[in-house]
Chain A
């Protein structure tokens, strides 16, 4: 079973700053199978990135994903107030990482 480790656990930033979130997998994975979600308390999770770097329709371009092998990154270029949430990476539509809280 592949384990996803996200870091940092909590990231404290201000609106307008750049956020860089990491997801490391215990084995090399195919980029096509790596996704990122945003979860705001009281709301349903939202798909942000799939295939490691692709944005679904409607996701702002300040969200970007990159990486390959075992190391993947979600970058939010300029934080807006609604971006403060918990972010999860996921492999193969199954296992989630432990999450990074952006506060």
Chain B
């Protein structure tokens, strides 16, 4: 079955970087895209961007332009999201999700809590 398993919780200091991984199984990784979404405490879902594994294209939300990089490793079937210059308000649960053919997200990882604190 389709599975997306994310890396564990992280604690970072302001100004640092974090990389969250999303290891997949149960489907043909190389033909899909992956979206990253986050939820800060008490807030709603925030779309961060996506990567198309097939051609490497990326599309980042304006709020994260210049601070985020999304990559994918077809050998390990793993998607990655790196966020740099972390601020306290980047504290959130970060989710990876598989993009269906229609663009919506049909399978999700379990989420990774990233805490940014001095």
Q: How far is the CB of B34 from chain A (nearest CB, A)?
A: 11
10 additional A-B pairs beyond A35-B104, A39-B39, A90-B47, beta carbons within 8 Å, are A44-B108, A44-B110, A45-B97, A50-B106, A92-B103, A93-B105, A94-B103, A96-B37, A96-B45, A98-B44
* Selected A-B contacts with CB under 8 Å, 6 pairs: A33-B102, A37-B105, A44-B108, A44-B109, A45-B105, A96-B46
**Among A44, A50, A94, which residue has its beta carbon within 8 angstroms of that of B95?**
A44
Residue of B nearest to A101 (CB): B44
Q: Is A32 an interface residue (CB 8 A)?
A: yes
When distances are taken between beta carbons in the complex, the residues of chain A under 8 Å from B106 are 47, 50, 56
The count of residues in chain B whose C-beta lies closer than 8 Å to any C-beta of chain A is: 22
How many contacts between A and B, using CB within 8 angstroms?
A: 56
- CA gap between A51 and B104 in the complex, in Å: 9
User: Would you call the interface of chain B mostly helix, strand, loop, or mixed?
Assistant: strand
Digit string of A48-87 for contact with B (CB within 8 Å is 1, else 0)? 0011000010000000000000000000000000000010
Determine the chain B residues whose CB is within 8 A of the CB of A86 once the complex forms. 44
Q: Nearest Cβ in chain A — how far from B3, in angstroms?
A: 11
Contact B108 A45 (CB under 8 A): yes
Most buried by A among B44, B100, B106: B44
Once bound together, how far apart are the Cα atoms of A72 and B56, in whole Å? 33
Say yes or no: A90 contacts B104, CB within 8 Å: yes
